[in-house]
Amino acid sequence: MAFSTTMLAWGVIDFAEGHEIAGQTEYGRAAVKWATDYFLKAYTANNEFYGQVGKGDIDHSYWGRPEEMTMERPSYKIDEDHPGSELAAETAAALAAAAVVFKDADPSYSEEVLQVAKELYDFANNFRENYDVSIEDAYYYYHSFNGYGDELCWAALWLARATGDDTYLTRARENYDEFDISGYLGTLGWDDKRGGVFSLFWLLTGDSQYSDLFVAYLNWLKNEADYTPEGLVALSDWGSNRAAANVAFMALWAAKNGFDTESNQEWARRQIGQMLGDNPKYQSFVVGYGVNPPEKPHHRSSSCPSLPESCIGAFNNPGPNPQTLYGALVGGPGLDGNYTDDRGDYQHNEVACDYNAAFTGALAALAEIS
């Protein structure tokens, strides 16, 4: 959720013109604030932050409306005795990015979220531990494969951008060197912020050390990766559209900042086009949009009939979801290009907040150049 918010905010900031063209600026701000308001409530005391509600196995076994959940849903927090650096740092990044979003639109709110961002970054940096050691249930669902070094650096960079204070840039460099973030593992995502780190360092310093890394990172993702037969960059069999949308966002950001502009714009346009239905199979992957869109996404509440009807048996309903989840990007095709609109196929037909986060920013970027 925190990463999704950071990416949403980044799109609102750096593709502001596209949001204006589409009439989505206020909606973008509202979406960011919906999340950051929640983060403020989850920050219950200094160095205390609630990071999870519910147990993964119990929640996943339930199929129905969220407002009708009656099972026990315990809450889990991180604190000085049970730290969680990835969680605290990514939330700090989200709040710092939100501070930039609201700097002119709502200065008092901007100051409020920025102060909490500073405190959460200090918490993450001073009390270090993988968050899924402290919140053990998260290990089985959102395991931190990449550690917390990239999140610490990412948060410091967003704070540097939000405050203009070079102290945070110094801390980002310290985190960068300490954790050897110059390598890269895969596309920017909830577990790996390295691509974002390279880009923000480039933006804030203009240093060729970082621009060269960012360009190499982006070219590696675009040129070394496999593609589905239809032309979607195939970086993950689970949520392939999410991974492709994240790279498209980065390519469009690079283009706007003067790197290989026409090539990056065209590559990203093709990738986003794949998701919108501009592909050999004429298959849209956006619910409620385009030709042959998904009708049975893996999404509990939209699969339920309207109240007062019961949602029992909705998972196995052979028909379309009764509620249309307009705009949701489903996971996408497998690495072989195959896709079936199957409610039970969570790898390829699930929806999620982070699936739409960079996708939204990429659409705004394309609106600027259309």
Any idea which residues carry the catalytic annotation?
Answer: 341, 350
Tracing tokens 């939100």 back to the chain, one arrives at 98
Tell whether the torsion through CA atoms of 328, 334, 340 and 342 is positive or negative: negative
Supply 341's token pair: 């609109």
The angle subtended at Cα 2 by Cα 268 and Cα 55, nearest 5°, is 120
Supply 201's token pair: 């360092």
Please state the separation of Cα 152 from the chain's center in Å. 17
Tally of CB atoms within 10 A around 63: 16
- 3-state DSSP: the chain helix, strand, coil percent, rounded to 5? 55, 5, 40
Supply 340's token pair: 């079936």
Q: Is residue 95 within 8 Å of 3, Cβ to Cβ?
A: no
Q: Is residue 303 within 8 Å of 325, Cβ to Cβ?
A: no
**HSE value, Cβ hemisphere, 13 Å, CA-based, for 128:** 10
Task: Give the helix/strand (H/E) hosting 107.
Answer: helix 107-126
User: b/e per residue, 303-323, with b = 16+ CB within 10 A?
Assistant: bbeeeeeebeebeeeeeebee
